[in-house]
Structure 1
Amino acid sequence: MKESYITNWDEWKQQFHYYKEIRIVFSDLDAFGHLNNTGAFKFMELARMDYLIDHQLLQPSALLTSETFVVVADLQCDFLQQMFYDDVLKLYVQPQHVGNSSVDLHYMAVNQKGDVTFVGRGALVQISRKTGKAVKWDEAQYQVLTKENI
């Protein structure tokens, strides 16, 4: 399978540094005993939120009151291997393209054996709580996002 957002697999994999460790629990499984396909999207959300918080792009205490916030504009996942109960994944998150008010994040899940189990990408857009319209990143946000895009 060739993911359209990955031009050079080896170079792409080397860009990732930030990750969240996630253990697959029983409630993540489907009737066949492997990770339900919705689980990957939940895991991407967990890693994305931790990334934003850890990089001070999101303040949990202001999540419902801040003037701006980010929304997921699109999200896709490509499954490469099955995942099972008690597997431990490192879910990597990496900004790829930073626009005026958006960022394209890429994801890579690696299991405890070192195998890539799924990859994905998604666009986030910063919007105004009042107007619902896109809001340009401020300079500090832009610097954080582009610094990570090494």
Structure 2
Amino acid sequence: MRANYIEDFDTWAEAFKFSAPLTVRFSDIDLYGIVNNAITISYMEFARIEYFKHIGLMSDWMNPKGEKIPVVADVQCDYVKPITYDENLDIFVKSNSIRNSSVDLHYMAKNGNGEIVFTGRGTLVQINRKSGKGTPWSEKEKSLFVG
């Protein structure tokens, strides 16, 4: 397995500290009995939101009067093994790099046997709700990604 965002796989995989458990729903599979390729992006979204709740960012973004919101700028998924109905997955998330108003997130999903079923990455940008322009991370917000 070789994705262009992974230099040393073992070092990359060992750096994940957070994961969110998920069980594959019947509605996630296609007529071939495997998870539809578009569904893995929603799995990444689920884990990303759980990660942001865990580090303490979601409450600010969910405030209807808040000025900042997150948007996904890009996403990439690399499929490793088929995923089937009722499998239990752990979707791992970590921040790979933090820039002025964006963060590059990496993902790794493992099945119940500990096998990697997909990896991925995506850029999330924090923007101003009214202007739509990037809003820099505060020092506190940056520290949440590192912790």
TM-score by length of 1: 0.94
Matched ranges for 1:10-21 at <5 A: 10-21=10-21
The answer for the alignment partner of 2:123 in structure 1 is: 123
Deviations, residues 77-124 of structure 1 (Å, cap 9, x unaligned): 000000101110000000000001100000000000010000000000
1:137 to 2:137 alignment = yes
Alpha-carbon RMSD across the aligned residues, in angstroms, is 1.3
Q: Tell me the distance in 2 between the aligned counterparts of 1:76 and 1:83.
A: 17
5+ residue gaps, structure 1 = none
How far 1:64 moved relative to its partner? 3.8
* 1:84 alignment partner in structure 2: 84
Q: Measure how far apart 1:146 and its partner are.
A: 2.4
Residue of structure 2 equivalent to 1:96: 96
The SS at the match of 2:77 is strand
Map 1:14-29 to 2 at 5 A: 14-29=14-29
Residues 73 and 125, structure 1, Cα contact 8 Å, conserved in 2:
yes
| Contact 1:63 1:69 survives alignment (8 Å) | no
Deviation at 1:62, TM superposition (A): 2.9
For residues 12 and 34 of structure 1, what CA distance do their matches in structure 2 show?
A: 27
SS at match of 1:37: coil
Q: What SS does structure 1 have at the residue aligned with 2:118?
A: strand
Counterpart AA for 1:111: N
Shift of 1:45: 0.5
1:60 CA drift (Å): 7.3
Distance 2:22 2:9 in 1: 23
Contact 1:53 1:60 in 2 (8 A): no
Give the paired residue count.
147
Trace 1:39-54 onto structure 2 (pairs within 5 A).
39-54=39-54
Separation (CA, whole Å) in 2 of partners of 1:127 and 1:99:
13
Deviations, residues 109-144 of structure 1 (Å, cap 9, x unaligned): 000001000000000000001110000001110111
* CA distance in structure 2 between the partners assigned to 1:7 and 1:117 by the alignment: 18
Q: Which residue of 1 aligns with 2:30?
A: 30
Change (3 A) 1:37 1:63: farther
The share of aligned pairs that are identical, in percent, is 39
For residues 38-68 of structure 1, the C-alpha deviation after alignment (integer angstroms, 9 at most, x for no partner) is 1100100000011111211111783543100
User: What is the TM-score normalised by the length of structure 2?
Assistant: 0.96
Q: Which sections of structure 2, spanning at least 5 residues, go unmatched?
A: none
Residue aligned with 1:3, SS:
coil
